[in-house]
Amino acid sequence: MERSSFGTAPGGQPVDVYTLTNRQGMEARVTNYGGIILSLRVPDRDGRFDDVVLGYDALADYVAESPYFGALVGRYGNRIARGRFTLDGRQYTLATNNGVNHLHGGLKGFDKVVWTAAPFENDQGMGLVLTYVSPDGEEGYPGTLTARVTYTLTADNALVFDYHATTDRPTPVNLTQHSYFNLAGDGQRDILGHVVTFNADRFVPIDATSIPLGPLRDVTGTPFDFRRPTAIGARIQQDDEQLRNGLGYDHSLVLDKGGQPGALTLAAHVLEPTTGRVMEVHTTEPGMQFYSGNFLDGTLKGKRGAVYHHRFGFALETQHLPDSPNQPAFPSTLLRPGEEYRSRTLYRFSVSGA
Ligand code: BGC
């Protein structure tokens, strides 16, 4: 595996880039700053390789301002209302970095720390084990959390994420990956023509600050019904309270696990019709945040001079549901000492049609 320098993090630690490849020519470049996937080159139906994720060329750009391009998100992916929760009778206050709410781990989440990286090659493929020990009290979270995330590029064009964590005090944990995809390649146009299918009968309705309203909602008859292949853009302009609250799609879908919590199941199938590229998402998680890149507005200049305009990328963040520490009806995100947090997600790439 090739390793090269990616510069120096604000704390002075050296940061590297690791290039994962497989025999089919797929290539993922990953840095141990924030576990960020810098680029992901996959073939189209004519065998042409393009980079299908958004991001920057230089470390300094990620440090200066990034909407979590490619990043590993933690300690809690998604929002916690007002950055507050009660655990075992005690109230905790987290850093608030999204209006009054806590988002994606706070001011300095796992996307902005330097992970220890150990490259490996085995019969599954080639990959990196990323380790980070989050101190007790970091961003307000209780307990020392030891997180280990393994990225593997397999021979059959899948990128696999295995998450593991342990703690010495009870804490919420919800790790995810925040890559922005544009399967047309190189982030050159909007993602509205991508045809998606989601294995979700219900979604989490949100208020105007993106906090869950409470009861889950049936997708039937709403613009959130993607149970049959539908273009992302087909209904995004509809006059719908939920689309208004999210400024488009920015919602958690509740995945149909077929009665088997924790089983690896197909969550999403995405087809980009002009290139034939297909991405499947499989996960053990109960939910998936579907974000249609609503906050991209052309101000961020990306790789090779690309300008990321409105909805030029989308994210499918597998995770537990938002604000779970304050939502007793949602699956629990609580990790206690002696327990192991385990989660697996994979993105598999292929092509469709001739
Ligand atoms: C959130 C969006 C947020 C984006 C970038 C997504 O996971 O749901 O609301 O703007 O991340 O920060």
pLDDT tens by residue, 96-139: 999 999 999 999 999 999 999 999 999 999 999 999 999 999 99
Spatial separation of the C-alpha atoms in residues 37 and 25, rounded to whole Å: 17
Distance 24 CA to ligand 1 centre (A): 33
What percentage of the chain exceeds 70 in pLDDT?
A: 100
pTM: 0.97
**Lowest mean pLDDT: which of 186-190, 222-226, 279-283?**
186-190
Span 331-342, average pLDDT = 98
DSSP single-letter state for residue 181: B
Q: Give the mean pLDDT of 314-335.
A: 97
Q: pLDDT band at 259, cuts 50/70/90?
A: confident
Exactly one of 104, 178, 194, 282 is catalytic; name it: 178
Rounded distance between C-alpha atoms, residue 349 and residue 42, angstroms: 7
Average pLDDT over residues 332-341: 98
CB 150 within 8 A of CB 129: yes
Read off the pLDDT of residues 21-51 as tens digits, 9 standing for 90 and up: 999 999 999 999 999 999 999 999 999 999 9
Please, how many CA atoms are within 13 Å of residue 253, restricted to the half-sphere of its CB? 29
230 Cα–ligand 1 center, Å? 22
Please tell me the predicted confidence (pLDDT) of residue 258: 78
Q: Cis omega (within 30 of 0) on the bond before 75?
A: yes
Mean pLDDT of the chain: 97
- In a 13 Å sphere around the CA of 18, the CA atoms on its Cβ side amount to 24
Tell me 248's DSSP state: S
Dist CA 175 CA 55 (whole Å)? 20
Check: CB of residue 169 under 8 Å from CB of residue 181. Answer: no
Q: What's phi and psi for 239, nearest 5 deg? A: -80, 95
354 pLDDT higher than 70: no
What confidence score (pLDDT) does residue 280 get?
Answer: 98
Look up tokens 């992916």; give the residue.
Answer: 77
State the catalytic residue, choosing from 138, 139, 272, 317: 317
Q: Give the residue-averaged pLDDT of 244-266.
A: 91
Q: Whose CA is nearest to atom 8 of ligand 1?
A: 250
Is the pLDDT reported for residue 330 higher than 90? yes
- Residue 261 pLDDT level (bands cut at 50, 70, 90): confident
What would the two tokens of residue 308 be? Answer: 């990321």
Compute, in angstroms, the gap from residue 77 CA to the centroid of ligand 1: 9
- In the numeric block, the tokens 């609580």 are attached to 334
Residue 110: which of 62, 74, 145, 63 has the closest Cα? 74
Nearest CA to ligand 1 atom 4: 67
Ligand 1 neighbours (beta carbon < 6 A): 67-68, 210, 250, 289, 291, 295, 315, 317
In order of 80, 108, 222, 342, the CA distances from 170 in angstroms are 16, 21, 38, 16
Alpha-carbon distance 340 to 175, whole Å? 13
